[in-house]
Amino acid sequence: MTTDETPEAVQLAANRAMWDERVPIHTASTFYDIPGFVAGADPLRSFEVAEVGEVTGKSLLHLQCHFGQDTLGWARRGATVTGLDFSVPAVEAARELAGTVDLPDARFFAADVYDAVKVLDGETFDIVYTGLGALCWLPDITRWAETVAALLAPGGFLYLSEFHPITDVFDENGLTVTTDYFRRGPMSWDEPGTYTDATVETENNLSYEWQHGLGEIVSALIGTGLRLEFLHEHDFSLFKRFTSFERSTDGITEVYRFPAGQPRVPLMYSLRARKSS
């Protein structure tokens, strides 16, 4: 077996093929609404903007940036942005979008997260931003945390906003626990379509995901020496995760919540962890 044929390499290659195929579907989708973004709509969620704070003049690295819409959202707010994603079509689309919205200084790199330090040649950043369906694609959360810490400049911080891992244990109603919170190791899926269009025909449908508990994620970050400044658990999600969800607005962001009267669990979380200066 050569290095490229390790189970992890095979799994990541399947994931990359799956993501590569979905990039043009996503860029054409109403879900991502590129025309709206080009016209000036802000793709960032209001809670993220509030929790990250002022970014003007700061360098920001977006890990797993997909086709860069959120990355460019931070650029519009004044950050000097760099995006990194292992999907070449995603990075090409990000560069094209940066040209369309006249943000030529935005840089995008095609690389695995775990290779980010090497690919970025040791460059460090004021802010590392990531999340919203990112960590589940990574097999090793300790290696991820070490990578993030190495990418941060002294005094810089990681801002992570993610879907809460507890939501993975419930049935589609969000009422009954059907899956073990502590399951680990790769889970494989073989499903056509994508979250922007479940009915679209796709060929590369095999993917692998890894479930990471909240405690593991926080402990991995603290273990690198980063100082946790907050960990917020949110009672909203960004999509209709469970059938009972009702749509509401949280400031300017469309969100989904359990109906009034139904007991709640956290649906998302966000955290900020800072490197000492």
Ligand X SMILES: C[S@@+](CC[C@H](N)C(=O)[O-])C[C@H]1O[C@@H](n2cnc3c(N)ncnc32)[C@H](O)[C@@H]1O
Secondary structure of 8-37 in HEC code, one letter for each residue: HHHHHHHHHHHHHHHHHHHHCCCCCCHHHH
| Contact track, ligand X, 36-65, x by CB under 6 A | ----------------------------x-
Instruction: Give dist(CA 3, CA 198) in Å, integer.
Output: 35
User: Smallest gap, in angstroms, from Cβ of residue 176 to ligand X?
Assistant: 26
User: What does DSSP say about strands 80-85 and 59-63: parallel, antiparallel, or unpaired?
Assistant: parallel
User: What does DSSP say about strands 125-131 and 152-163: parallel, antiparallel, or unpaired?
Assistant: parallel
Site for ligand X contains 15 (CB under 6 A): yes
Beta carbon nearer to ligand X, 19 or 159:
19
Coil, strand or helix: which one is 209?
strand
Q: Looking only at residues 197 through 226 of this chain, which bind ligand X when binding is defined by CB under 6 A?
A: none
- Residue of 66, 241, 272, 275 interacting with ligand X (CB under 6 A): 66
CB contact at 8 A, 70 and 79: no
- Taken in order 100, 16, 130, 249, the sign of the CA dihedral is positive
CA 48, distance to chain mean position in Å, is 12
| Contact track, ligand X, 69-108, x by CB under 6 A | xx--------------xxx--x------------------
For residue 108, what are the contacts with CB-CB under 8 A and spacing of at least 6?
Answer: 65, 68, 71, 82, 83, 84, 85, 91, 94, 95, 98
- Residue of 10, 77, 92, 133 interacting with ligand X (CB under 6 A): 133
Beta carbon nearer to ligand X, 12 or 97:
12
User: Smallest gap, in angstroms, from Cβ of residue 272 to ligand X?
Assistant: 17
Beta carbon nearer to ligand X, 137 or 258:
137
User: Smallest gap, in angstroms, from Cβ of residue 17 to ligand X?
Assistant: 10
Residue ranges in contact with ligand X by CB under 6 A: 12, 15, 19, 64, 66, 69-70, 85-87, 90, 112-113, 132-134, 137-138
